[in-house]
Chain A
Amino acid sequence: MKGKKSIAVLASFLILICVAWATPAFVAEKSPYKIGVNLELTGPWAEVTKTVRMAMELEKDKINSAGGINGHPLELIYEDNGFDLSRAAANMTKFTRDKEIIAVVGPFEDNLQATTRALAEREKITNIIICPSNPMVRGLKQKWAFNIAQSDIIVSQKLVDLSLARKYKKVLVFHAAHPLAQSLAEYYKRFGEAKGMKVLIAKETHRPTDIDMTPQLVKLKPIIEQEKVDAFYAATAGPPGPILCKNLRTLGVKIPILGTHAFGFHFIIALGGEAMEGVEFGAGKPVVPYQLDENDPVRPIITDFDKRMKARYDMGIDQIAGHAHDAMALIYDALKRVQGKVTRANFRDAMENTKGLKSCHGIYNYSPSDHDGLSKKDMVFIRIEGGKFKRVKFPGLE
């Protein structure tokens, strides 16, 4: 009796093994190209990275249902870094150790990027950075890191154009106390003064965690009045933007406020309410999908993406979703151009040779000396009016 039982067990094991062996034969599919995604899926950016993930999934499914890349499907492997430096680094290392992973997308936050960029350089793997990055790191001319968001340089150039179009002669800059905001302030001053403007950078700064900016603004108010400043530039991102707009209006300062591209999110308007009316800034095209020119080369891409996002997730696109879309578009484009076997090295070379790729945020061009991709032409001027983003155009300027 006992012997029979063990034979039965053995037989079932054998059958199982045979089945497992045979399975790959039924799925005659080429091996997938794997892309690692290193994101802040938990922590303060969880809601934003959720959008990134949804947009990337949407694009992945689109690519795969169209037959993948020469029959190879694309596979995304997500790792959550929890807004934590060491976990971001650990994820990056894990991805580099997995020989099948061709490139890594993310992370999001400035200081996490700095670490993964260094790892990417050492381990020789492409790192696609989807968020504007620390100028000190970006300035290192790295070989393996590609930035896909608008850099601080073009954002500042765009804003100088806006200031000139509005005929602002003197602008006061109040920036956040972190390197990206600081460099936005400095580039704005440099480009603005080259065009004959006068730019004052306030000595006061604020932190991303400040909940009340009144004390700083109280000190700036006399400067605004005495120097007859034409506009106030809030070089900041996230909640401090609406907070300082509110505080400034409460103090009775009525001059126009200029913002950064980070103002181009609906939650910013929801937070600031009435105080946000009239704020102007330059931002990526996905902020106003249906207000772009009819002949804009990327308009069909943006509207199509917006419709697909609405159909699947019931939410419109924003700049972040646009970045996620573009990351996938760039990967797809580069993979298609790789000759022969896809390796990390020739994927990087293909990525660097991206020329004139039209995607949500504009037209991407990379070269060995330029890993920033976008240019000033890929941004539009936005004004907040009636609680909505409204595109403004000036003759002679885009």
Chain B
Amino acid sequence: MDLWAHIPQLLTSGVTLGAIYALVALGFVTIIRASQIINFAQGEFVMLGGVVTFYLLKGLNLPYPLAALVATGIVITVGFLLYISVIYPLRKAPTLIVLISTLGASIFLSNTSSLLFGTLPKALPPFSGERPLTIGGVSIVPQNLWVLGTTVLLLIFLYLLSHRTLSGKAMEASSTDPLGADLLGISRTLMVFLAFGLSAGIGAVAGILVTPIFFTSYNSGTILGLKGFIAAVLGGWGKNTGAILGGFVLGVVESMSLAFIPSGYKDGVAFAILLCILYFRPKGILGSPFVDSRRW
């Protein structure tokens, strides 16, 4: 069979998958850049974005854009609450304890969602029709383009935030040099608080974008969070561009691997890549500001 004929279609599929991983990874990185905390509840923000929008749309009959907006607002609030109730009380605890507590928060959020919104998977209608576009023999669903476009927009937004605004710079400063930030009068608590809101917002947007393509149920946050985490490590821990690159690399490799190996091993590929990266280039593809200075 002609393997190469599949490549363009597999590539398209991989790029979409990659964009989703990249969005989740961006959420991880946003928090890391402000506080060195790994927030394992990141995947739950994605799940909540999809599930809450579905509820507002189908349960309360709000118009789609409004439902999406309100859902994003709700998830951002959840992000803030997560910080206030879990992270802030543990601000003096070792990182490991904070990490475990975010895992706990993740279980709490997914189970709460199952109680409030049920356990069956949910699908949102696509933003602009279901008719696939065919370009040179490759079919693309319009929703995939929405995902890609939003990923690029978010990246630009985050770039502008961290390079052009004072609060963005302050956010980064509080992570790279906590003491220096303190001396300059930056409130680190406030910065991390804002980072949690921002990261929840990114997660919610990701959730709303992917629910029309893949179905979201109360437990889909775990695997998405894990893949996003791998993407963030892969691209370069703590870099926005690294997260995006890592996401795309992971998605494309996962999808392309199917052309060569049986589909049963698909999920293993992601973890195999992660292991290889950790062995041979622990800094990730683009290098990491944190890993460099601290351990290697």
The answer to whether B13 and A274 have CB atoms under 8 Å apart is no
The answer to whether A204 and B9 have CB atoms under 8 Å apart is no
The answer to whether A243 and B215 have CB atoms under 8 Å apart is yes
Contacts of A239 in B (CB 8 A): 121, 215, 217
Interface flag for B277 (CB, 8 Å): no
Q: Which of B75-83, B153-161, B234-242, B255-263 has 4 or more CB atoms under 8 Å from chain A?
A: B255-263
Partner of A251, one of B9, B121, B213, B266: B9
Q: How far is the CB of A214 from chain B (nearest CB, A)?
A: 4
Cα distance, A242 to B119, chains bound together (Å): 17
Q: How far is the CB of B192 from chain A (nearest CB, A)?
A: 31
The answer to whether B118 and A47 have CB atoms under 8 Å apart is yes
Interface flag for A250 (CB, 8 Å): yes
Cα distance, A58 to B217, chains bound together (Å): 28
Cα distance, A242 to B17, chains bound together (Å): 18
Cα distance, A271 to B123, chains bound together (Å): 5
The answer to whether B262 and A203 have CB atoms under 8 Å apart is yes
Interface flag for B103 (CB, 8 Å): no
Contacts of B114 in A (CB 8 A): 42, 46
Partner of B120, one of A207, A243, A249, A267: A267
Given A215-B13, A250-B141: A273 touches B130 (CB 8 Å cut-off): yes
Given A42-B114, A46-B114: A212 touches B139 (CB 8 Å cut-off): no
The answer to whether A214 and B118 have CB atoms under 8 Å apart is no
Cα distance, A339 to B264, chains bound together (Å): 53
The contact string, 1 if C-beta is below 8 Å from chain B, for chain A 199-238, is: 0000111110111101110110010000000000000001
Partner of B132, one of A44, A207, A215, A250: A250
Query: Which single residue of chain B is at the shortest CB-CB distance from A270?
Result: B123
The answer to whether B9 and A211 have CB atoms under 8 Å apart is no
Counting chain A CB atoms within 10 Å of each CB, the highest count among B16, B121, B214 belongs to B121
Count of residues in A whose CB is under 8 Å from the partner chain: 39
Q: How far is the CB of A109 from chain B (nearest CB, A)?
A: 13
The answer to whether B13 and A218 have CB atoms under 8 Å apart is yes
Partner of B258, one of A47, A48, A216: A216
Contacts of A46 in B (CB 8 A): 114, 118-119
Contacts of A272 in B (CB 8 A): 123
The answer to whether B134 and A215 have CB atoms under 8 Å apart is no
Counting chain A CB atoms within 10 Å of each CB, the highest count among B6, B111, B123 belongs to B123
The answer to whether A215 and B119 have CB atoms under 8 Å apart is no
Interface flag for A43 (CB, 8 Å): yes
Interface flag for A24 (CB, 8 Å): no
The answer to whether B130 and A274 have CB atoms under 8 Å apart is yes
The answer to whether A204 and B263 have CB atoms under 8 Å apart is yes
Cα distance, A324 to B121, chains bound together (Å): 22
Cα distance, A272 to B123, chains bound together (Å): 8
Interface flag for B223 (CB, 8 Å): yes
Query: Which single residue of chain B is at the shortest CB-CB distance from A202?
Result: B263
Counting chain A CB atoms within 10 Å of each CB, the highest count among B139, B215, B258 belongs to B215
Interface flag for A177 (CB, 8 Å): yes
Within 8 A of A (CB), among B99-135: 111, 114, 118-123, 125, 130, 132, 134
Cα distance, A216 to B16, chains bound together (Å): 15
The answer to whether A273 and B125 have CB atoms under 8 Å apart is yes
The answer to whether A215 and B2 have CB atoms under 8 Å apart is no
Cα distance, A340 to B5, chains bound together (Å): 72
Given A46-B114, A271-B123: A209 touches B223 (CB 8 Å cut-off): yes
Given A214-B9, A222-B1, A271-B121: A204 touches B215 (CB 8 Å cut-off): no
Cα distance, A204 to B16, chains bound together (Å): 21
Counting chain B CB atoms within 10 Å of each CB, the highest count among A44, A207, A215, A274 belongs to A215
Contacts of B125 in A (CB 8 A): 273
Query: Which single residue of chain B is at the shortest CB-CB distance from A267?
Result: B120
Q: Which residues of A contact B (CB under 8 A)?
A: 42-48, 177, 203-207, 209-212, 214-216, 218-219, 222, 238-239, 242-243, 246, 249-252, 267, 270-275
The 3 A-B pairs of least Cβ separation, nearest first, read A211-B214, A215-B258, A214-B13
- 30 A–B contacts, CB within 8 A, in A order: A44-B119, A45-B119, A46-B119, A47-B118, A47-B120, A48-B119, A48-B120, A203-B262, A204-B262, A205-B264, A207-B266, A207-B267, A209-B223, A210-B266, A211-B220, A212-B213, A214-B255, A215-B14, A215-B266, A218-B9, A238-B121, A242-B215, A250-B141, A251-B9, A251-B132, A252-B132, A271-B121, A272-B123, A273-B123, A274-B130
Besides A212-B17, A215-B266, 9 other A-B contacts (C-beta < 8 A): A46-B114, A204-B262, A204-B263, A214-B13, A218-B10, A238-B121, A239-B217, A267-B120, A274-B130
